[in-house]
């Protein structure tokens, strides 16, 4: 018997029991939808995380003022305990550190002509842009000389450029920040969103000392808000963190059980946490998927067994007029596989929609790949084969005359 | 003359829990090519049981059965299925048509399992349906046909694969006398064309179309008469 005919016979059998066929498929639909959503969320999350790692820069340790308790709670945040000299010391004295930059931050208005724009103003040293792997696309970056002489220059993120200059070239123009005129010397490459979801391009950078002298609210002219440190390699991250800790404790005279007045944070650890929670989400969806696929498969088996019993006479008739055991086996297998494949296709559709909604809510990109769709499709077919085999074998093992006599 | 069917001391014992029932108690006969045999006998005498064995649907409890010289007892399920499909046409006592399926599709069934393409299947099934007088009813479902029409669909299904042996269990049981005569004339024509026919019937009128009458009683053959051509109805 040819395959097309087998499919036709199976489709007809499924059509006669439309509602039942649909209900039987539900488990598969839910399971496959969960598989698709799982893969989409999982790959979307790892894409986002790798993007964020790239946008922060690699092998980064952040040193911030204030202590952190073992539970991760920060105390004394905002205290002015870090200085530019700490940053310099870290860079020169910690062997595992390649670069460090002290930073200060405040927010304020940037004004050009009659346009103004509220933005983040950051002070940093030339190393900051190397650590964050953030080059200028026009003009030049901040130099050590700019920092040393506290010159009134700035470089702009693209969002600031767009809001103050439109499409005009800002290099060489003068803008006012907190009423102080700054000459624009460069424009930074586009960076996109930060892990916290803020627009990193909405920033004006000025030399660290300029920021400390001209823009800080109080008279803490040597204080800095954070130190951004880059370890020499990923392997040396923990070494670098330890070196920074002991160096700063020594410099701040913190001994024994005295509480630290600073905290180090390894940014890749933060991202690892994010990655872990994405994995947990994938795992949860995976559990939902496998449970409902198993339950769905058992449902298929159950319905196929009912169908074999109901259609015993039909099987007898087919055998009596020349169907071989294999023809009967194939017919019921095909029915089971068609059920699961249709269920699989519906599941793929629903899962894709679901993943899109999830990604909208979490503002993650949806990554529904051809691979995940084909994996889901073949997986649903495999479930049909696995759970359809027993009922189909039962049908094929019937004796023609007994099947014909079956009431 | 070569024996198409040769059965030798066939017994069939049905086991129902503790009880046993011997429906055939040692039946032997040969049927030659081209014969038209009528099997008669009271209800419950074992006629259908014997037909099912000849039709390769049911194995005998003991005894030998040779079909075209081949030992049916030694064949596996697939070989039996192929014989049922290609060599035999079987008209069941209770029609055994597929429900919710058009007449023409019922008739096509044996051709599906013979691996014949859909175009040829359709044209052959339509031709046989016309032969049995069901032109115009091809697309009626079983439930939309009268008993006699269903019987004719069953006959058409048995004939569609051009079997050399036609087995019919009460093929006229549900037909009025004029349709009975039509069907019997069809059988006679098929027989003249070379098909060997074995048919179960209760009616002597119907049996008289055959060239030989075998009578069963309580699982035995009690008479086996070959009628001369003169006796045979024209
Ligand atoms: N599967 C079975 N299990 C038990 N007993 C059976 C079975 N099939 C047939 N019999 C018994 O065997 C006997 C012969 O049955 P069979 O169907 O051959 O009769 P028959 O001659 O065809 O009768 P009828 O003319 O009514 O069709 C009956 O007594 C019946 O009860
Ligand atoms: Mg009978």
What DSSP state is assigned to residue A190? P
Position B234 confidence tier, pLDDT thresholds 50, 70, 90: very low
B226 C-beta neighbours (distance < 10 Å), count? 12
Q: A236 with A192, same domain?
A: yes
Contact between residue A251 and residue A86 where contact means Cβ atoms under 8 Å apart: yes
As a whole number, mean pLDDT of residues B71-96 equals 92
Position B228 confidence tier, pLDDT thresholds 50, 70, 90: low
Q: Which residue's structure tokens are 């039946």?
A: B27
The predicted complex's ipTM stands at 0.93
Q: A323 with A388, same domain?
A: yes
Q: A298 with A374, same domain?
A: yes
Q: Which of A260, A284, A317 is the last residue of a domain?
A: A260
Please indicate whether residue B14, judged by its CB atom, sits closer than 6 Å to ligand 1.
yes
Ligand nearest the Cα atom of residue A407: 1
Q: What kind and span of H or E run contains B150?
A: helix B147-159
Question: How far is the C-alpha of B131 from the C-alpha of B75, rounded, in Å?
Answer: 34
Position B122 confidence tier, pLDDT thresholds 50, 70, 90: very high
Q: Which residue's structure tokens are 């023809």?
A: A327
Determine the pLDDT at residue A1: 63
The predicted-structure confidence for B163-191, as pLDDT tens digits, reads as follows: 999 999 998 887 788 888 888 998 999 99
Exposure on the CB side of residue A75, measured as CA atoms within 13 A: 8
Residue A150 in domain:
yes
Q: A310 with A397, same domain?
A: yes
Q: A254 with A295, same domain?
A: no
Determine the pLDDT at residue A71: 53
Please indicate whether residue B229, judged by its CB atom, sits closer than 6 Å to ligand 1.
no
* DSSP structure string for A235-247: TTHHHHHHHHHHH
Q: Which of A260, A287, A308 is the last residue of a domain?
A: A260
Question: How far is the C-alpha of A192 from the C-alpha of A201, rounded, in Å?
Answer: 6
Q: What kind and span of H or E run contains A32?
A: helix A18-56
- The answer, as to whether pTM is greater than 0.80, is no
Q: Which of A190, A225, A260 is the last residue of a domain?
A: A260
Determine the pLDDT at residue A283: 82
User: How many structural domains does chain A have?
Assistant: 2
A84 C-beta neighbours (distance < 10 Å), count? 21
**In angstroms, what CA-CA distances link B64 with A233, B29, B72, B223?**
88, 11, 8, 21
Determine the pLDDT at residue A236: 86
A197 C-beta neighbours (distance < 10 Å), count? 7
Residue spans of alpha helices (H) in A101-251: 126-131, 144-148, 158-165, 208-210, 237-251
The CATH architecture one would assign to domain B3-226 is 3-Layer(aba) Sandwich (3.40)
Residue A59 in domain:
no
Q: Residues of B with CB below 8 A from A318's CB?
A: 109, 113
Question: How far is the C-alpha of A243 from the C-alpha of A263, rounded, in Å?
Answer: 13
**Could you give phi then psi for residue A79, rounded to 5 degrees?**
-65, 145
**CA-B21 nearest atom, ligand 1:** 5
| Mutation target vs B (from A5, A321, A328, A407; most B CBs, 10 A cutoff) | A321
Please indicate whether residue B201, judged by its CB atom, sits closer than 6 Å to ligand 1.
no
Exposure on the CB side of residue B224, measured as CA atoms within 13 A: 7
CA distance B117 to chain A (A): 9
Which chain B residue's Cα is nearest to A319? B81
Q: A24 with A103, same domain?
A: no
Q: Residues of B with CB below 8 A from A326's CB?
A: 78
Instruction: Assess whether pLDDT exceeds 50 at residue B142.
Output: yes
Q: Which residue's structure tokens are 């079956």?
A: A406
Beta strand B212-217 pairing with B36-41? parallel
Rounded to whole angstroms, the maximal C-alpha distance in chain A is 104
Residue spans of alpha helices (H) in A266-405: 267-310, 312-320, 325-362, 370-396, 400-405
CA distance A323 to chain B (A): 6
Burial class (CB in 10 A: 0-12, 13-18, 19+), A374: exposed
Q: Which residue's structure tokens are 């964050």?
A: A132
**Could you give phi then psi for residue B163, rounded to 5 degrees?**
-70, 155
What DSSP state is assigned to residue A196? T
Question: How far is the C-alpha of A384 from the C-alpha of A333, rounded, in Å?
Answer: 7
**In angstroms, what CA-CA distances link B99 with A15, B17, B126, B139, B140?**
14, 32, 19, 13, 11
Position B36 confidence tier, pLDDT thresholds 50, 70, 90: very high
Q: How far apart are the first and last CA of chain B?
A: 24
A113 C-beta neighbours (distance < 10 Å), count? 10
Determine the pLDDT at residue A286: 81
Secondary structure of chain B in the HEC alphabet?
CCEEEEEEEEEEEEEECCEEEEEEEEEEEEEECCCEEEEEECCCCCHHHHHHHHCCCCCCCEEEEEECCEEHHHCCHHHHHHHHHHCEEEECCCCCCCCCCEHHHHHHHHHHHCCCCHHHHHHHHHHHHHHCCCCCCCCCEHHHCCHHHHHHHHHHHHHCCCCCEEEEECCCCCCCHHHHHHHHHHHHHHHHCCCEEEEECCCHHHHCCCCEEEEEECCEEEEEEECCCCCCCC
CB contact under 8 A, B113 and A314: no
Q: Could you tell me which residues come within 8 angstroms of residue B74 by beta carbon, excluding any fewer than 6 positions away?
A: none
- Of residues B82 and A259, which shows the higher confidence score? B82
Q: A93 with A221, same domain?
A: yes
Contact between residue A26 and residue A296 where contact means Cβ atoms under 8 Å apart: yes
For a mutational test of ligand 1's pocket, the pick from B17, B18, B47, B201, i.e. the residue with the most ligand atoms closer than 8 A to its C-beta, is B47
Q: B207 alpha carbon to ligand 1 midpoint, in Å?
A: 21
Q: Which residue's structure tokens are 């109901």?
A: A310
Residue A265 in domain:
no
Residue pLDDT tens, chain A, 407 long: 678 888 888 888 888 888 989 998 998 999 899 888 878 877 777 777 777 666 777 788 888 888 765 555 555 555 677 888 888 899 888 899 999 999 988 888 899 988 889 999 999 999 999 888 889 999 999 999 999 998 999 999 999 999 999 888 899 999 999 889 999 999 999 888 776 678 889 999 999 988 888 876 665 567 788 898 998 888 888 889 889 988 988 888 888 777 778 888 877 776 777 778 777 877 887 888 888 888 889 999 999 999 999 999 999 999 999 999 999 999 999 999 999 999 999 999 999 898 888 778 877 777 778 888 898 899 899 999 999 999 999 999 999 999 998 87
Q: A292 with A221, same domain?
A: no
Determine the pLDDT at residue A194: 73
Question: How far is the C-alpha of A325 from the C-alpha of B225, rounded, in Å?
Answer: 39
CA distance A330 to chain B (A): 12
Determine the pLDDT at residue B233: 47
Torsion, Cα of A367, A373, A375, A379 (10° steps):
130
Question: How far is the C-alpha of B103 from the C-alpha of B81, rounded, in Å?
Answer: 22
Determine the pLDDT at residue B106: 95
Residue A62 in domain:
no
3-state SS class at A40: helix
Q: A314 with A247, same domain?
A: no
Residue-range definition of the domain harbouring residue A232 = 80-260
Residue A268 in domain:
no
Q: A125 with A233, same domain?
A: yes
Q: Which residue's structure tokens are 């070989």?
A: B79
Q: A279 with A355, same domain?
A: yes
- Of residues B97 and A46, which shows the higher confidence score? B97
Determine the pLDDT at residue B109: 93
Q: What kind and span of H or E run contains A261?
A: none
Q: A387 alpha carbon to ligand 2 midpoint, in Å?
A: 39
Q: A196 with A163, same domain?
A: yes
Which chain A residue's Cα is nearest to B118? A5
Please indicate whether residue B21, judged by its CB atom, sits closer than 6 Å to ligand 1.
yes
Q: B35 alpha carbon to ligand 1 midpoint, in Å?
A: 25
* Angle at CA of residue B86, ends B85 and B89, nearest 5°: 70
């Amino acid at each position: 018997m040819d395959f097309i005919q087998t499919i036709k016979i199976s489709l007809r059998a499924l059509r006669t029991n439309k509602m039942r066929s649909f209900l039987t498929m539900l488990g598969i639909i839910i399971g496959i939808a969960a598989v698709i959503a799982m893969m989409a969320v999982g790959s979307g999350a790892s894409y986002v995380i790798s993007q964020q790692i790239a946008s922060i820069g690699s092998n980064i340790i952040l040193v911030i003022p204030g202590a952190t308790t073992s539970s991760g709670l920060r105390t004394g945040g905002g205290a002015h305990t870090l200085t530019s000299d700490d940053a310099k010391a870290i860079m020169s004295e910690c062997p595992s550190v390649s670069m460090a930059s002290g930073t200060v931050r405040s927010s304020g208005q940037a004004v050009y002509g009659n346009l103004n724009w509220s933005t983040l103003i950051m002070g940093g040293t030339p190393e900051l842009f190397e650590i964050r792997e953030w080059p200028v696309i026009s003009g030049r970056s901040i130099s050590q000389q700019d920092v040393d002489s506290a010159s009134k220059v700035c470089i702009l993120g693209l969002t600031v450029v767009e809001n103050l200059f439109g499409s005009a070239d800002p290099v060489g123009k003068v803008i006012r920040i907190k009423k102080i005129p700054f000459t624009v010397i460069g424009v930074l490459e586009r960076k996109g969103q930060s892990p916290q979801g803020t627009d990193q391009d909405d920033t004006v950078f000025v030399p660290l000392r300029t920021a400390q002298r001209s823009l800080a609210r109080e008279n803490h002219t040597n204080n800095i808000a954070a130190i951004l440190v880059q370890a020499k390699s990923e392997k040396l991250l923990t070494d670098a963190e330890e070196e920074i800790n002991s160096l700063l404790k020594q410099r701040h005279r913190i001994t024994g059980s005295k509480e630290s007045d600073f905290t180090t944070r390894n940014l890749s650890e933060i991202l690892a946490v994010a990655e872990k929670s994405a994995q947990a989400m994938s795992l949860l969806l995976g559990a939902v998927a496998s449970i409902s696929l198993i339950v769905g498969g058992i449902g298929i088996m159950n319905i196929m067994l009912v169908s074999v019993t109901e259609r015993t006479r039909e099987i007898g008739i087919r055998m009596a007029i020349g169907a071989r055991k294999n023809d009967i086996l194939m017919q019921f297998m095909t029915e089971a596989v068609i059920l699961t494949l249709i269920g699989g296709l519906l599941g793929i559709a629903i899962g894709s929609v679901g993943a899109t909604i999830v990604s909208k809510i979490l503002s993650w990109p949806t990554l529904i790949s051809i691979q995940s769709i084909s994996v889901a499709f073949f997986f649903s077919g495999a479930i049909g084969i696995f759970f359809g085999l027993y009922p189909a074998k039962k049908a094929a093992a019937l004796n023609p005359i007994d099947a014909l006599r079956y009431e | 003359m070569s024996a198409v069917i040769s059965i030798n001391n066939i017994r069939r014992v049905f086991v129902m829990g503790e009880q046993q029932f011997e429906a055939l108690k040692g039946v032997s006969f040969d049927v030659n090519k081209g014969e038209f045999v009528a099997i008669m006998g009271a209800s419950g005498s074992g006629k259908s049981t014997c037909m099912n064995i000849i039709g390769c649907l049911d194995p005998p409890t003991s005894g030998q059965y040779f079909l075209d010289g081949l030992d049916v007892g030694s064949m596996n399920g697939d070989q039996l299925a192929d014989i049922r499909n290609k060599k035999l046409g079987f008209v069941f006592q209770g029609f055994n048509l597929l429900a919710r399926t058009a007449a023409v599709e019922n008739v096509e069934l044996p051709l599906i399992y013979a691996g014949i393409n859909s175009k040829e299947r359709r044209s052959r099934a339509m031709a046989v349906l016309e032969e049995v007088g069901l032109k115009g009813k091809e697309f009626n479902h079983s439930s939309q046909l009268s008993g006699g029409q269903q019987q004719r669909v069953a006959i058409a299904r048995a004939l569609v694969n051009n079997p050399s042996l036609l087995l019919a269990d009460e093929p006229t049981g549900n037909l009025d006398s004029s349709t009975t005569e039509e069907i019997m004339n069809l059988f006679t024509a098929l027989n003249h064309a070379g098909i060997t026919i074995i048919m179960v019937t209760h009616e002597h009128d119907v049996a008289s179309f055959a060239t030989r009458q075998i009578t069963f009683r309580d699982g035995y053959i009690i008479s086996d008469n070959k009628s001369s051509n003169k006796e045979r109805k024209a």
